[in-house]
């Protein structure tokens, strides 16, 4: 249940609510909004009418309500204001345009540094690069591993760009956290609950990609695992779903962007590279993603896509990314007021 405190509620009043919840065996999460704090009081057994009444009678409590969605902390019901994730000097969400760019796999110092410098010059805000690669076949290149992480850290030093890279299992979380600025949970691991718990126990920003057949509700419940473990720094990434259509690799589900803006306060990134698998689709689908209201784009960039060890078909060259970055900034500047203006046709419903 959600307990909303009055704006003038005292620390003692807040403590009293917390203590009562803990005594009932429930977990408490606090969110400070502009009109006062909201407490999410959660437990396996759910809310009881008696408890609700009891909380409602405590001093400083403005109202008590039940969650209407299965996810709680990820919901706009708990937190109305968009979450802004801070990653070193970069900011994700909150009206900014995030541009994550870099190679699918880190292949060598030369390859990584060339891309890193190129995308930094073009205005990328984060550097992406795969060190641990989840591959469908056990015989495919599985990534440089720890060596790749070290190269990423070096690339960060040279360019100043924070880095995002994938973590594939709980036992890797500590090691990857040492090097990365944002931990990526990949598509195939959207419901790897052990991994979600593990990244939730860190205080690192986490980008959670949607599973190939993950519903939006399941995706938000997966984010809820991370949030419930105490980590509020969660970013969602739409990267295409699996449908009957085979003309592109997957079907980029841009419907998800306005739906997520309505349901959750978490920032939303769109990955057109993996969703389409085709270089010539990356720019139009990036335009569309930003126009739909996404907080940013993740794209693959390779100095020589035709020689890439993985996913070369979908990688942009550095000059293509440079051009795209400028184009996306123009589109973002144009559409941001449309999404935020309460009277606009496309305004986020939560703003109305």
Which residues ranging from 305 to 334 are in contact with its own copies (CB under 8 A)?
316, 320-321, 323-324, 327, 330-331, 334
Where in 232-271 is the site for its own copies (CB under 8 A)? 241-248, 251-259, 261-262
Chosen residue from 34, 138, 157, 306 binding its own copies by CB under 8 A: 138
Q: If binding is defined by CB under 8 A, does position 216 make contact with its own copies? A: yes
Of 205, 320, 234, nearest to 273 (Cα)? 320
Q: How far from chain centre, in Å, is Cα 156?
A: 20
Both tokens of residue 55? Answer: 């909380």
- CB distance 256 to 216 below 8 Å: yes
Both tokens of residue 183? Answer: 């931990």
- CB distance 60 to 13 below 8 Å: yes
Chosen residue from 41, 221, 234, 235 binding its own copies by CB under 8 A: 221
Chosen residue from 44, 50, 57, 342 binding its own copies by CB under 8 A: 44
Please give the DSSP secondary-structure letter assigned to residue 20.
H
**Sheet with 36-42, edge to edge strand ranges:** 27-33, 36-42, 2-5, 61-65
Helix 146-159 to helix 109-121 angle, to the nearest 10 degrees? Answer: 40
Q: If binding is defined by CB under 8 A, does position 22 make contact with its own copies? A: no
| Shortest Å distance, C-beta 50 to its own copies | 19
The terminus-to-terminus CA distance of the chain in angstroms comes to 24
Q: Which of 111, 276 has the CB closer to its own copies? A: 276
Q: Alpha helices of 135-214 — where are they, by DSSP H?
A: 146-159, 173-179, 193-201
Q: If binding is defined by CB under 8 A, does position 230 make contact with its own copies? A: no
Q: Which of 74, 155 has the CB closer to its own copies? A: 74
Stretch that binds its own copies, among 30-38, 76-84, 103-111, 211-219 (CB under 8 A): 211-219
Chosen residue from 290, 297, 298, 301 binding its own copies by CB under 8 A: 290
Of 104, 109, 100, nearest to 308 (Cα)? 104
Stretch that binds its own copies, among 50-58, 64-72, 106-114, 177-185 (CB under 8 A): 64-72
Q: If binding is defined by CB under 8 A, does position 141 make contact with its own copies? A: yes
Of 283, 290, 282, nearest to 313 (Cα)? 282
x-or-dash string of contact with its own copies, 65-104, rule CB under 8 A: -----xxx--------------------------------
| Shortest Å distance, C-beta 45 to its own copies | 9
Q: Which of 155, 299 has the CB closer to its own copies? A: 299
Q: If binding is defined by CB under 8 A, does position 40 make contact with its own copies? A: no
Q: If binding is defined by CB under 8 A, does position 151 make contact with its own copies? A: no
Chosen residue from 9, 14, 21, 42 binding its own copies by CB under 8 A: 42
Encode 244-276: b = buried (16+ Cβ within 10 Å), e = exposed.
eeeebbbbbbbebbbebbebbbbbbbbbbbbbb
Distance CA 202, CA 183 (A): 10
User: Residue 351 CB: number of other CB atoms within 10 A?
Assistant: 13
Q: Which of 110, 245 has the CB closer to its own copies? A: 245
Chosen residue from 92, 100, 127, 168 binding its own copies by CB under 8 A: 168
Q: If binding is defined by CB under 8 A, does position 224 make contact with its own copies? A: yes
Q: If binding is defined by CB under 8 A, does position 192 make contact with its own copies? A: yes
């Amino acid at each position: 249940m959600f307990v909303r405190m009055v704006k003038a509620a005292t620390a003692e009043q807040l403590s009293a609510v917390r203590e009562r919840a803990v005594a009932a065996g429930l977990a408490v999460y606090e969110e400070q909004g502009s009109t006062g704090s909201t407490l999410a009081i959660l437990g396996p057994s759910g809310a009881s009418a008696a408890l609700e009444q009891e909380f409602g009678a405590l001093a400083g409590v403005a109202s008590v309500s039940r969650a209407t969605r299965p996810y709680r902390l990820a919901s706009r019901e708990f937190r109305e204001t968009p979450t802004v994730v801070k990653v070193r000097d970069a900011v994700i969400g909150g009206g900014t345009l995030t541009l994550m760019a870099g190679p699918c796999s880190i292949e060598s110092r030369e390859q990584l540094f060339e891309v890193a410098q190129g995308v930094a010059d073009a205005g990328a805000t984060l550097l992406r690069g795969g060190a641990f690669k989840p591959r469908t076949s056990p015989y495919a290149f599985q990534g440089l591993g720890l060596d790749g992480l070290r190269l990423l850290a070096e690339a960060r030093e040279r360019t100043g760009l924070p880095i995002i890279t994938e973590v594939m299992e709980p036992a890797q979380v500590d090691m990857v956290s040492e090097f990365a600025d944002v931990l990526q949970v990949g598509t195939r691991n959207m419901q790897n609950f052990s991994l979600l718990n593990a990244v939730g126990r860190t205080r690192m920003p986490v980008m959670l990609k949607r599973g190939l057949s993950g519903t939006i509700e399941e995706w938000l419940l997966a984010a809820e695992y991370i949030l419930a473990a105490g980590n509020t720094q969660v970013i969602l990434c739409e990267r295409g779903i699996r449908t009957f259509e085979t003309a592109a690799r997957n079907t980029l589900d841009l419907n998800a962007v306005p739906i997520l803006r309505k349901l959750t306060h978490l920032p939303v990134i769109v990955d057109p590279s993996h969703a389409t698998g085709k270089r010539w689709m990356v720019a139009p689908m990036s335009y569309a993603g930003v126009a739909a209201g996404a907080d940013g784009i993740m794209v693959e960039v390779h100095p020589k896509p035709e020689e890439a060890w993985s996913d070369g078909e979908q990688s942009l060259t550095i000059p293509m990314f440079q051009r795209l970055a400028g184009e996306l900034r123009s589109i973002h500047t144009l559409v941001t007021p449309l999404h935020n203006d309460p009277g606009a046709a496309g305004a986020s419903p939560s703003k109305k």
